[in-house]
Structure 1
């Protein structure tokens, strides 16, 4: 690994652990709650302890003035919820675009098992090759999503599909992997063991604070390196507090109850 890539990886994590807050949802969902005034949300989550935030390249000017020295990741593909198929993620930028935007890393979403998998595999492979030339870390968001993919009603089978997707990210040259949580620490351990790369979990649909913190604790117990969690953080009524609680679980080893109490969260 080059010194430049190592330095950039350090800027998006702490001690090999990662609390990333993706806020690229504006391209998918529009200017939803938490993103319309994205500057204040970025300020809140980074004050709460987020290691890095993630957006599309066009939001970069609104990020840097608000991120309190946290790391910055530029996402390089996307789709909309009102388009023909949200799983059909298309490239939205390049590594050079990300460098010009002041990024410390880039990310790319791939739906393993979908009809778009072949093209997305090629795109991710090309991206990692280009990123390597510049010493730019790549966060591969490798989801198992398709007709034959199993789900949480079959945790072991779902974990096997997630493990396949996770390993694919390493095979294609990524530096960090994001995938869904399989539902429990026992099954998710299989996912983590599929790669030598750090694995972070997605947040999924917004849940209660207890559900969110318990999921994070379960993933960490299974060997995950942290989270890349969007709506459960940026749409929270107190983004700074929920970020602080999640950071406590990831970086300090806190249990969910202690983390929630210390952050001043009150479950509704």
Structure 2
């Protein structure tokens, strides 16, 4: 077993599955409901049963020591801000040594499908290789440049496989119809992304697990919930079957 394989397996220590809370949204939006004070929010949810958190680089150095009991996934790509047009290519702005020095257990970067996807693919592939030299697992989050297509079967179905073919260790995608086909044809673990706050998120999560997904990476549906710890508990129960 290689160091990369060992580090990837560690991420799925919870019955072979993983539950992450995504707290990286302010890199794009600035302060938002539920993340006005990110360290306070992190402290509030730390006792919950999630396995890890997705965080921006600047938050790592502010974390309480207890946070390192969770898996910490660093968002290493950027896509502009709420004041600009959403970028079709998300540059990677954190190098592997910095990610290791900050205590990241894995990194996550974006692959945008659409008019600039050849350049986006080249960037993703090049940075996957750079992180793998240091045995750092890479999560690729797949989105369409047309946000309305992120739940479209063809986009999710093809996008998950494309990300895997580029060499990532884990794929993060939105839910779509025939989700089982997405999982069946993707040779690496698939995590379900949450997207906008949705009252039906638990139903989608149940179906994703039935379809073979290896877990969830949910943000607004958790940190904007009236009781985020309870929501995490419900999601954790789904993973435990």
Is the shorter-chain TM-score for this pair beyond 0.5, marking a shared fold?
A: yes
SS of aligned partner of 1:134: coil
Partner of 1:199: 190
Change (3 A) 1:53 1:151: closer
| Bigger shift: residues 42-51 or 82-91 | 82-91
SS of aligned partner of 2:132: helix
**1:228-243 matches, cutoff 5 A:** 228-243=217-232
What is the CA–CA distance in structure 2 between the aligned matches of 1:88 and 1:151, rounded to whole Å?
16
Change (3 A) 1:87 1:246: farther
Report how far residue 143 of structure 1 moved. 2.1
Q: Deviations over 1:246-266 (max 9, x none)?
A: 11111x21xxxxxxxxxxxxx
Partner of 1:71: 71
**1:91-102 matches, cutoff 5 A:** 91-102=92-103
What is the CA–CA distance in structure 1 between the aligned matches of 2:90 and 2:237, rounded to whole Å?
33
Report how far residue 64 of structure 1 moved. 4.5
**Root mean square deviation, CA, Å:** 2.1
SS of aligned partner of 1:35: coil
1:218 equivalenced with 2:212 (yes/no): no
Contact 1:9 1:137 in 2 (8 A): no
Partner of 2:155: 161
Q: Deviations over 1:220-256 (max 9, x none)?
A: 0111111111111111121111111111111x21xxx
Q: Gapped runs of 5+ residues in structure 1? A: 153-157, 254-268
Q: How many residues align?
A: 240
Partner of 1:116: 116
What is the CA–CA distance in structure 2 between the aligned matches of 1:100 and 1:129, rounded to whole Å?
19
Partner of 1:173: 167
Change (3 A) 1:205 1:126: same
Partner of 2:55: 55
| Bigger shift: residues 65-74 or 213-222 | 65-74
Contact 2:11 2:18 in 1 (8 A): no
Change (3 A) 1:101 1:12: farther
What is the CA–CA distance in structure 2 between the aligned matches of 1:28 and 1:140, rounded to whole Å?
18
TM-score, normalised relative to structure 2? 0.91
Partner of 2:23: 23
Report how far residue 87 of structure 1 moved. 4.5
| Bigger shift: residues 85-94 or 102-111 | 85-94
Report how far residue 91 of structure 1 moved. 2.3
What is the CA–CA distance in structure 1 between the aligned matches of 2:236 and 2:122, rounded to whole Å?
35
What is the CA–CA distance in structure 1 between the aligned matches of 2:3 and 2:162, rounded to whole Å?
25
What is the CA–CA distance in structure 2 between the aligned matches of 1:142 and 1:49, rounded to whole Å?
26
What is the CA–CA distance in structure 1 between the aligned matches of 2:146 and 2:164, rounded to whole Å?
20
Runs of 4+ in 1 over 4 A off after TM superposition: 149-152
TM-score, normalised relative to structure 1? 0.82
Report how far residue 200 of structure 1 moved. 0.6
Q: Gapped runs of 5+ residues in structure 2? A: none
What is the CA–CA distance in structure 2 between the aligned matches of 1:58 and 1:151, rounded to whole Å?
28
Partner of 2:3: 3
Report how far residue 161 of structure 1 moved. 2.3
Contact 2:164 2:186 in 1 (8 A): yes
